[in-house]
Amino acid sequence: MASISLANISKRFGSLSVLDNVSIDIRDREFVALVGPSGCGKSTLLRIVAGLESISDGEISIDGEVVNDLGPQKRDLAMVFQTYALYPHMTTAQNMAFPLKLRGHSALEIDKAVGQAASTLHLDDLMDRLPRALSGGQRQRVAMGRAMVREPRAFLFDEPLSNLDAKLRSHMRLEIRQLHQALNATSIYVTHDQVEAMTMADRIVVMNRGRVEQEGSPIELFDRPANLFVASFLGSPTMNMADAVLTTDDEGKPVLSFDAQTSRIPVPAFTGAPNRKVIAGLRPQHMDVVPPDEGMIQAQVQIVENTGCETNIVVAIGAETWTVQSRQRQRLAQGDVIGLIFREEHIHLFDHGSQKRIN
């Protein structure tokens, strides 16, 4: 197993900069998720680690050894592709045996390793099938098996679950996680699905436009997003945002007033400079519905979405549209006026200009 270090990686295609000075350190046995919208450079970064793309600048090292000029054959990494990339003319067993065959293992060793991986992944009955006779989930498993058999230094996953249906995806999510716990292998997992990143990773790296926006544990990122991008990218439904003004009350304590509302909300924990325009964020899960006169702010119901265990209420607050997620069944109809309450510590404040977190 291995630690992987990316130092000041840049990748340019002509004048187009795909990765801009990205540095990430991945510890031995860590499961790191690279997450971000399409085109953020996460897949390119993974392919750079794999050795499938060259870099314009920077240094990649595996276990302290610089591998910039090492081809993918020599890096001893295994990759699971989004399209699985199974060899269509080889059976499950042959696909899984291929990397071992290339390394000159004996037939006996190969049979043993392949058999072991197959039983871990419940592929025993499918060993003689060609990929085209397998379902999506089974192909996915074979791809994982092919990666597992040779005990590589690290696993690279390039959106491995995005071609599966929702139910299978959540199942495979669990399996990959369990596999990681069992194998204890360094893993880099690229996904655009924040739920996958949140549930699977030890650490998440959020990328946007070729840069790292923030890295940290899933909970850190969820609780204290460093900027507006991370705040709006993680969490479902998306964090509610509104322009607000930070001022002081008569006693000099900081208070927040939303543009659309007259009521002022004290934010005693805030220690930065007051009297500025900010963007205030509140997660849909951190608000409660109360009668209008008891609310800190008033809102008008627009749409009520019942998902069974939660109710998503889309409301209008002045010109803004917010979503409130309630655990209680709400008997609400379009046009109803409700009050919303929340705890002050759940408010995320971002600078209006730099969009960086200020509380």
Query: Are the C-beta atoms of residues 62 and 34 closer than 8 Å to each other?
Result: no
User: Does 160 help bind another protein (rule: CB under 8 A)?
Assistant: no
Task: Kindly tell me which of 32 and 79 has the beta carbon lying closer to another protein.
Answer: 79
Work out how close the CB of 129 gets to another protein at its nearest, in angstroms, rounded to a whole number. 9
Task: Kindly tell me which of 128 and 165 has the beta carbon lying closer to another protein.
Answer: 128
Which parts of 97-136 interact with another protein (CB under 8 A)? 98-99, 102-103, 128, 130, 133
From 16-24, 70-78, 308-316, 338-346, give the range in contact with another protein by CB under 8 A: 70-78
The values of phi and psi at residue 113, to 5°, are -65, -45
Alpha-carbon span 35 to 194, nearest angstrom: 7
From 85-93, 176-184, 192-200, 336-344, give the range in contact with another protein by CB under 8 A: 85-93
User: Does 73 help bind another protein (rule: CB under 8 A)?
Assistant: yes
Task: Kindly tell me which of 87 and 343 has the beta carbon lying closer to another protein.
Answer: 87
Give the three-class secondary structure for 56: coil
Q: Which of 26, 77, 176, 234 binds another protein (CB under 8 A)?
A: 77
* Number of amino acids touching another protein (CB under 8 A): 25
From 47-55, 117-125, 211-219, 283-291, give the range in contact with another protein by CB under 8 A: 47-55
Work out how close the CB of 73 gets to another protein at its nearest, in angstroms, rounded to a whole number. 5
Reported in sequence order, the residue ranges of 209-268 that DSSP labels E, i.e. its strands, are 211-216, 240-248, 254-258, 264-266
Give the three-class secondary structure for 323: strand
Q: Which of 3, 25, 28, 52 binds another protein (CB under 8 A)?
A: 52
The continuous run of DSSP H or E covering 173 comes out as: helix 166-183
User: Does 146 help bind another protein (rule: CB under 8 A)?
Assistant: yes
Query: How many Cβ atoms are within 10 Å of 172's Cβ, its own excluded?
Result: 20
User: Does 14 help bind another protein (rule: CB under 8 A)?
Assistant: no
Alpha-carbon span 84 to 259, nearest angstrom: 50
Query: Are the C-beta atoms of residues 110 and 100 closer than 8 Å to each other?
Result: yes
From 60-68, 82-90, 192-200, 310-318, give the range in contact with another protein by CB under 8 A: 82-90
The continuous run of DSSP H or E covering 100 comes out as: helix 92-102
Work out how close the CB of 144 gets to another protein at its nearest, in angstroms, rounded to a whole number. 13
Task: Kindly tell me which of 150 and 180 has the beta carbon lying closer to another protein.
Answer: 150
Describe the strand order of the beta sheet including 311-317 as a list of residue ranges.
Answer: 287-290, 337-342, 297-306, 311-317, 320-326
Contacts of 225 (CB under 8 A, 6+ apart): 214, 231, 234, 239, 281, 348, 357
Q: Which of 50, 118, 126, 188 binds another protein (CB under 8 A)?
A: 50
Sign of CA dihedral 252, 257, 262, 268: negative
User: Does 72 help bind another protein (rule: CB under 8 A)?
Assistant: yes
User: Does 81 help bind another protein (rule: CB under 8 A)?
Assistant: yes
Task: Kindly tell me which of 65 and 128 has the beta carbon lying closer to another protein.
Answer: 128
Query: Are the C-beta atoms of residues 294 and 339 closer than 8 Å to each other?
Result: yes
The values of phi and psi at residue 69, to 5°, are -100, 10
Q: Which of 36, 41, 51, 145 binds another protein (CB under 8 A)?
A: 51
User: Does 284 help bind another protein (rule: CB under 8 A)?
Assistant: no
Residues at the interface with another protein (CB under 8 A) = 50-52, 71-73, 75, 77-79, 81, 83, 85-89, 98-99, 102-103, 128, 130, 133, 146
